[in-house]
């Protein structure tokens, strides 16, 4: 039986990965570590926690005692580090928090994994590790900086972070690489493009737009909305991470992209039109959401409002996933036009989850950013 430590497993990508593992792998034990900050919610994995093969620990990845205790109690084979402060706007507001969690927290995980996996030293003094162990760092394409109108990020693209968030993730990646080079720790790093799908906290673009449309609120778009992102359906991402974990060459970095480049304003307009169409085709959604009357004219582009651009806003991200495709046979299976419909349907049908996760800090933060627009 393999034991997986999944940090940040109550957050968006981490929770989806927990669900993916349990669906696709047998005879495994999962230990989910999450500090349950504003973006982590146990309701996201409540069904999974009923599984006797899943244990939950509340704690910070930067707390040595918490992580040490997990390794002492469980025979951890794999560490998958999803835990991170991840919102660029929040990093501009509080850079220190991002450095503490994303860099020092990562180093703490690496150090304790190295300690517990080491079974001796070779003739050159390098640690010798227990067979079949690996640490996987889940990173982001934002470590590469910004692209112009053409070109793609590859694993050889120089690191050029532009925000406190991306700088903290870059620092974490370099610490992981250092543990690989200095101590020969078996590691992988994955760098993904923008994820979307179920269980995404409504501060990121797509879930925020969906939430605001349903509430009749304005839809904030930075600058002129021309910034381009490459969108990756979260389940496709989870499949890629599992492949890298089990079959990726130790020490290697793998870029994971969706081949779905869209301008932010395109995303907003497509989300608007899709929500309206789904509601017109399915009156059950209007009834469930307690939307009275037959007219849906209020779901229109009149809701769009352009707000002051983010400081240091990267213009374009786009990933070339040729390496993971060639080596591991992975490719993005979900076309954006299909994935956005699945995502919107999920949010329409899971408004209780949205209400639960947005009942606290989120409302205060939204008011800080956008006022009463």
Per-residue confidence (pLDDT) for residue 360, from 0 to 100: 62
pLDDT tens per residue across span 228-277: 999 999 999 999 999 999 999 999 999 999 989 999 999 999 999 999 99
Q: What separation in angstroms does the CA of 274 have from each of 143, 271, 338?
A: 32, 5, 11
Rounded CA gap, 198 and 219, in Å? 20
Sign of CA dihedral 228, 231, 237, 240: negative
Options 144, 165, 196, 285, the catalytic residue: 165
Rounded CA gap, 120 and 221, in Å? 55
- The residue ranges of the chain whose pLDDT is under 70 are 360-373
Class of domain 2-196+232-258+315-333: alpha beta
The residues, any chain, with a CB within 8 Å of residue 362's CB and separated by 6 or more, are 38, 201, 202, 203
Rounded CA gap, 66 and 33, in Å? 9
pLDDT tens per residue across span 65-118: 999 999 999 999 999 999 988 778 888 888 999 999 999 999 999 999 999 999
141 labelled catalytic: yes
What average pLDDT is seen over the chain?
Answer: 92
Rounded CA gap, 73 and 88, in Å? 35
Q: Where in the chain are the domains?
A: 2-196+232-258+315-333
Options 35, 142, 173, 261, the catalytic residue: 142
Q: What separation in angstroms does the CA of 228 have from each of 133, 164, 225, 266?
A: 37, 20, 8, 9
Options 141, 173, 203, 230, the catalytic residue: 141
Q: What separation in angstroms does the CA of 58 have from each of 9, 67, 311, 327?
A: 10, 10, 33, 36
Which tokens go with 215?
Answer: 């509430």
Sign of CA dihedral 338, 344, 345, 350: positive
pTM of the model: 0.92
48 neighbors 17 (Cβ within 8 angstroms): no
9 neighbors 33 (Cβ within 8 angstroms): yes
Which tokens go with 170?
Answer: 């870059």
63 labelled catalytic: no
Percent of the chain at pLDDT > 90 equals 80
Rounded CA gap, 276 and 327, in Å? 42
4 labelled catalytic: no
């Amino acid at each position: 039986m393999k034991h997986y430590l999944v940090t940040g497993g109550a957050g968006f990508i981490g929770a989806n990965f927990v669900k993916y593992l349990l669906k696709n792998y047998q005879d495994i034990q999962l230990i989910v570590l999450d500090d349950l900050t504003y973006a982590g919610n146990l309701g996201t994995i409540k069904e999974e926690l009923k599984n006797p093969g899943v244990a939950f620990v509340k704690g910070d990845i930067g707390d040595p005692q918490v992580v040490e205790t997990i390794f002492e109690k469980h025979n951890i084979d794999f560490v998958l580090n999803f835990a991170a402060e991840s919102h660029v706007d929040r990093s501009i507001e509080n850079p220190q928090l991002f450095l503490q969690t994303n860099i020092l927290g990562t180093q703490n995980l690496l150090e304790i994994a190295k300690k517990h996996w080491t079974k001796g030293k070779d003739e050159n003094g390098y640690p010798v590790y227990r067979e079949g162990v690996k640490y996987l760092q889940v990173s982001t394409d934002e470590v590469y900086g910004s692209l112009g109108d053409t070109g793609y990020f590859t694993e050889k693209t120089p690191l050029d972070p532009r925000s406190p968030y991306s700088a903290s993730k870059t620092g974490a990646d370099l610490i992981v690489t250092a543990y690989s080079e200095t101590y020969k720790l078996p590691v992988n790093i994955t760098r993904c493009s923008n994820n979307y799908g179920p269980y995404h906290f409504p501060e990121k673009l797509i879930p925020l737009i969906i939430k605001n449309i349903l509430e009749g609120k304005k839809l904030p778009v930075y600058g002129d909305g021309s910034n381009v992102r490459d969108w990756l359906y979260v389940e496709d991402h989870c499949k890629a991470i599992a492949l890298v974990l089990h079959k990726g060459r130790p020490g290697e970095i793998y870029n994971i992209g969706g081949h779905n480049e869209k301008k932010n304003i395109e995303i907003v307009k497509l989300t608007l039109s899709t929500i309206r169409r789904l509601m017109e085709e399915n009156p059950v959604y209007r009834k469930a959401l307690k939307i009275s009357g037959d007219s849906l004219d209020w779901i229109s582009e009149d809701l769009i409002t352009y707000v002051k651009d983010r400081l240091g806003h990267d213009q374009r991200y786009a990933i070339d996933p040729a390496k993971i495709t060639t080596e591991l046979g992975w490719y993005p299976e979900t076309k954006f036009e299909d994935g956005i419909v699945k995502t919107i349907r999920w949010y329409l049908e899971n408004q209780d989850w949205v209400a639960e996760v947005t009942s606290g800090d989120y409302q205060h933060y939204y008011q800080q950013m956008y006022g009463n627009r």
